Chain A
């Protein structure tokens, strides 16, 4: 077993092991929410506190991350006690944890990993404890399926027999908790918002935080010092900092970058903003694309593959259409390895180098959805060594979004532009090599 936890993670682990309630764990980017969740599941089983633990995530990517984390901690023996279930097309085929939808096999395992959507397929079984990840993107009702798997019929019956049972319960969560469900709801409301017909709707984690105990992790094991500083100030995390061994980390390359790319890739600078002035175009009813930015992303990515072939890369954008254009260009250059994802899909993932394409650039200065706190926060906080932002700098600095139309000074996009320019990064003009 190999497990290194920082002091905050240990505190949370002990807190959740010794309490049988529903509580929230807020985790800024890279603070090890998935690690703590996986470690907690193992500790609960190892100490005999729980016979069966459920690990749930909203996306398949995050559910797979749970699997990898369990494998890293337990090694090959993870296959004996853990099982991944759900939709087979969403399962990482390289995951060393077995996958099954067979009821007989699932019932034999102690730790079950699933996406929220696939829970309905699970057989009738009770979990003594559960960890629900990505609760920032979910709404209250999405938590109810996992919670149902924790309801203890005996506790429920005992409560029913009590006099004046009704008066002791004031809230839905109190009811669920009293019926035996024990859960740790993990997420970060500053990284994602629930998709909801009401704009001001609470996310599931905010709902739990309002009604129960919660704790926050503040040591990032992903972001180097400059990035953790940027993310901390941008999202107002109140003290997010890098772990000491991570803080000085910088990009290392095997050969120096070509002269045209030197300013963009410069390894000592953690955050570089390339001021690309490509035109946006609408793609379908709600999506946008920016051809020049897409080509620039691919050129930079190809060059990084040449000078740092061992580094993992991910290209992030807010819009699905842009994602497809970039992926198409990458495949034309024979690159099938670089991951391209939307900000929603990027939740729970990380890479050595992140290239972020902003896309929006128009004369009305409408930044639109790309300017929301959660989307920007996710995009800038995936990188372990280097973040390259591609997009019109002036657009972000002086643009507006529907949410900030009253005062553009409060716009998250403007805030990000100001922080990068003033403290945490470098703005560079588009080099000639990216012009077409």
Chain B
């Protein structure tokens, strides 16, 4: 639902922010966990952060070279014309340091060292039509867990208008599903935290029921819109994007004005015709996108009806998913998976072909399949026993090595999200048409 009008890019650059996300995804389970000091005192916070930062130098270096690689191939990744590597490095280190202080200050003071940390966990709760990606989950004794969200772009907590809270609650619901199979089961939940620059937001527990209801209602609204329904629209009393001039606000304002003029019948008929055509095509693209999620529904429906073990066996037999892989090694952006030698080689009908988009799922014990750790990539090479999958950069490959190397792997088909690729040019032409065809006084 993020891009129903094709407004896909904000006005700010995300390169440094994304790089810090990459750094955190590798550093949290390693250097941050290793240096965790429960009950850290006020005068120790900066020292702890500096120690973690020092231990993470290699990770930062790797993430920066990964970002440089992106800049080489995607001009759009360039934050500004005045980009220089040293400035970029300093920016990344500054943001990273801020998050580390935030963790030392607000998490280490209250919580013991977690047993395990997982990062960038995609969770699909198909039954509730809810999917999202947790920045991190911390696991404690007796399977208790905490949910973390990094704010690497917006360093000022006060300027967010409170929208981060809804994202956190939404992620906590997904984490509940991951750890108990039920989003309403709060037994093992310990905390949720949004980590900002040198600070953090931890909502009081228990999480307020009206917050949970709001997330669920909005989720239902999005689902009904995507299903072609016409749910009653309620503009929030306060919208941090539109009312406060947040990211993407000019695009958002453009469509609001466009819709208002159309409603009032003030648009020239030629422009109105083009506008209607573009809006219609956008909804068709959303319809098509719904199709791309169908394999997840097939898998979940089978699991609901037959239990996970039987369902997965059947799905493997009918070649909808592929099991019995293990992560063998990592080379650059690629992970090399090998298949258990005892698997029947005759069963070679597979969707695993070069360029097919797949999700590698590490099968964790007592965790629903579609909530287990996973990475998305595309098939580079495939033969009977070996599968090479290209991931989105070397950091993703490193993360896969950390999180998947001890787990049996299942490969399921996934789809490229075509929505942005198709909606973005529609958005551009929509604005172009408005710019050329609307009289200046409108």
Do the two chains belong together in a single complex?
Answer: yes
Residues of A within 8 A of B (CB): 60, 87, 89-90, 101-103, 117, 120-121, 123-124, 140-142, 144-145, 147-148, 151, 156, 159-160, 165-167, 169-172, 175-176, 178-179, 195-198, 201, 283-285, 289, 320-321, 324-325, 328
Q: Is B221 an interface residue (CB 8 A)?
A: no
Q: How far is the CA of A176 from the CA of B429 in the complex (A)?
A: 8
Apart from the given pairs A148-B429, A165-B436, 16 other A-B contacts in the complex at a CB distance below 8 Å? A87-B378, A89-B354, A89-B378, A89-B380, A140-B281, A141-B426, A145-B425, A148-B425, A159-B436, A160-B435, A166-B268, A171-B274, A175-B432, A175-B433, A198-B284, A321-B319
Using an 8 Å CB-CB cutoff, how does the interface string of B297-339 with A read, 1 for contact, 0 for none? 0100000000000000000001110000000000000000000
Min CB distance A275 to B, Å, is 25
Docked Cα-Cα span, A117 to B426, in Å, equals 15
Contact, CB under 8 Å: B429 / A144? yes
* Interface secondary structure of B, over-half rule: helix
Cα-based distance from A201 to B73 in the complex (angstroms): 35
Contact A102 B73 (CB under 8 A): yes
Within the complex, the shortest CB–CB distance from B347 to chain A, in Å, comes to 9
Q: Does B129 have its Cβ within 8 Å of any Cβ on chain A?
A: no
Closest-by-CB residue of A relative to B295 is: A285
Question: Chain B, 389-401, contact with A by CB distance < 8 Å: what is the 0/1 string?
Answer: 0100000000000
Q: Please list 25 pairs of residues, one from A and one from B, whose beta carbons are closer than 8 Å in the complex, sorted by A's number.
A: A90-B355, A103-B75, A117-B416, A121-B73, A121-B74, A124-B75, A141-B426, A144-B422, A144-B425, A148-B425, A156-B432, A156-B435, A166-B438, A166-B439, A170-B273, A172-B277, A172-B433, A175-B432, A175-B436, A178-B436, A198-B284, A201-B284, A284-B319, A289-B349, A324-B348
Query: Which of B74, B268, B349 contacts A325, CB < 8 Å?
Result: B349
Contact A147 B425 (CB under 8 A): yes
CB of B249 to closest CB in A, whole Å = 23
Q: What residue of chain B has the Cβ atom nearest to residue A324's Cβ? A: B349
Chain A residue at smallest Cβ distance from B390? A89
Closest-CB distance, B326 to chain A (whole angstroms): 23
B235 interface hit (Cβ, 8 Å): no
Collect the chain A residues with CB atoms within 8 Å of residue B355's CB.
60, 87, 89-90
A90-B355, A103-B75, A172-B433 known; A120+B424 contact, CB < 8 A: yes
A325 to B424, CA, bound (A): 39
Q: How far is the CA of A176 from the CA of B430 in the complex (A)?
A: 11
Report Cα–Cα, A171/B349, bound state, in Å: 47
Report the bound CA distance from A165 to B287 in whole Å: 34
By a CB distance below 8 angstroms, the chain A residues around B351 are: 320
Q: Known: A117-B416, A324-B350. Contact between A175 and B287, CB under 8 A? A: no
Within 8 A of A (CB), among B249-290: 268, 270-271, 273-274, 277-278, 281, 284-285, 287-288
Per the bound structure, the CA–CA distance linking A124 and B81 in Å amounts to 13
**Residues of B contacting A103 in the complex (Cβ-Cβ under 8 angstroms):** 72-73, 75
Bound-state Cα–Cα, A101 to B346, Å: 38
A151 touches B270 (CB 8 A): no
Residue of A nearest to B345 (CB): A328
How many angstroms from the CA of A207 to the CA of B129 in the assembled complex? 35
The reply on B213 being an interface residue by CB < 8 A is no
B291 adjacent to chain A (CB < 8 Å): yes
B437 contacts chain A at the CB level, 8 A cutoff: yes
Q: How far is the CA of A265 from the CA of B277 in the complex (A)?
A: 52
> What residue of chain A has the Cβ atom nearest to residue B288's Cβ?
A197
Chain A residues whose C-beta falls within 8 Å of the C-beta of B437 in the assembled complex: 165-166, 169, 175
Q: How far apart are B416's CB and chain A's nearest CB, in angstroms?
A: 7
Rounded to whole angstroms, the CA-CA distance of A84 and B289 in the bound complex is: 29
Interface residue? B428 (CB, 8 A):
yes
A102 CA / B72 CA spacing, docked (Å) = 6
Kindly list chain A residues whose C-beta atoms are within 8 Å of the C-beta of B346.
328
Q: Known: A141-B426, A328-B349. Contact between A172 and B278, CB under 8 A?
A: yes
Knowing A145-B421, A166-B271 touch, does A160 contact B380 (C-beta < 8 A)?
A: no
- Contacts A117-B421, A141-B281, A145-B421; is A284 near B433 (CB within 8 Å)? no
Establish whether residues A175 and B274, one from each chain, have CB atoms under 8 Å apart when the complex forms: yes
Most buried by A among B422, B425, B437: B425
Q: Are B436 and A156 in contact (CB under 8 A)?
A: yes
Q: Which 7 A-B pairs have the closest CB atoms?
A: A144-B425, A123-B75, A166-B437, A324-B349, A197-B287, A101-B73, A166-B268
- Are A120 and B271 neighbours in the complex by a CB distance under 8 Å? no
Judge whether A172 and B429 touch: CB under 8 Å: yes
> B298 to chain A: which residues have CB within 8 Å?
285
Residue among B73, B429, B435, B436 with the highest chain A CB neighbour number at 10 A: B436
> Are the CB atoms of A148 and B349 closer together than 8 Å?
no
Query: CB-nearest residue of chain B relative to A325?
Result: B349
Q: Which residues of B contact A325 (CB under 8 A)?
A: 349
Contact A196 to B284, CB < 8 A, known contacts A90-B355, A171-B274:
yes
Contacts of B421 on A, CB cut-off 8 Å? 117, 120, 145
Complex CA–CA separation, A175 to B437 (angstroms): 9
* Pick from A121, A156, A178, A283: contact of B349, CB under 8 Å: A283
Q: Which residues on B sit within 8 Å (CB–CB) of A197?
A: 284, 287-288, 291
Interface residues as binary, B48-73 with A (CB distance below 8 Å gives 1, 0 otherwise): 00000000000000000000000011
Q: Write out the residue numbers on chain B whose beta carbons fall within 8 Å of the beta carbon of A151.
A: 432
Residue of A nearest to B275 (CB): A172
In the bound complex, how far is the Cα of B277 from the Cα of A324, in angstroms? 40
In the complex, are the beta carbons of A175 and B75 less than 8 A apart?
Answer: no
Contacts of A195 in B (CB 8 A): 288
> Within 8 Å CB of A90, what residues of B?
354-355
